[in-house]
Amino acid sequence: MVHLEGRCLCGAVTVSADAQKPMLRACHCDMCRRQNSSAFVSIATNPQSVEIDGPVKVYRSSEWAERGFCPECGSTLYYAALHDGVKQLAAGLFDNAGGAPLKLEFFVDRCPQGYAFAGDHKRLTTADTIALFAPKEGEDQ
């Protein structure tokens, strides 16, 4: 188990969480790129261990998700799906992105031509990503 402690740019918000095996995920969807001017890179943590202290401003970015940020400096704090409330913490809050390796990219077919992440990791297209997260037949939508 790894314990992670981080903060926003100005230090008004501090975050902590535990991770069994820290790993990074990058999302290239339009909303993530607009919010972060690049991919949103999050670090996988144990959801029940996430603690956020300080002022947090929440923006409901879609019918299914919200994004948290520091109202003082604007640092991205997290992305959270509303159905489960799990907060995907921004990797940039932690020194050296928590020392975690990049393991997964979402919406790779929407990644701008100007950059790409190197390395051997799983890359999901828009169709792959939607299939992964879309409700199965018979589930609440």
pLDDT confidence of residue 134? 72
**CATH level 3 topology of 2-133:** 2.170.150
Burial of 69 (0-12, 13-18, 19+ CB in 10 A): buried
Give, for all 141 residues of the chain, the pLDDT tens digit: 999 999 999 999 999 999 999 999 999 999 999 999 999 999 999 999 999 999 999 999 999 899 999 999 999 999 999 999 999 999 999 999 999 999 999 999 999 999 999 999 999 999 999 998 876 555 444
**What are the extents of the domains in the chain?**
2-133
pLDDT confidence of residue 137? 55
> What six digits make up the tokens of 27?
């999302």
pLDDT confidence of residue 141? 43
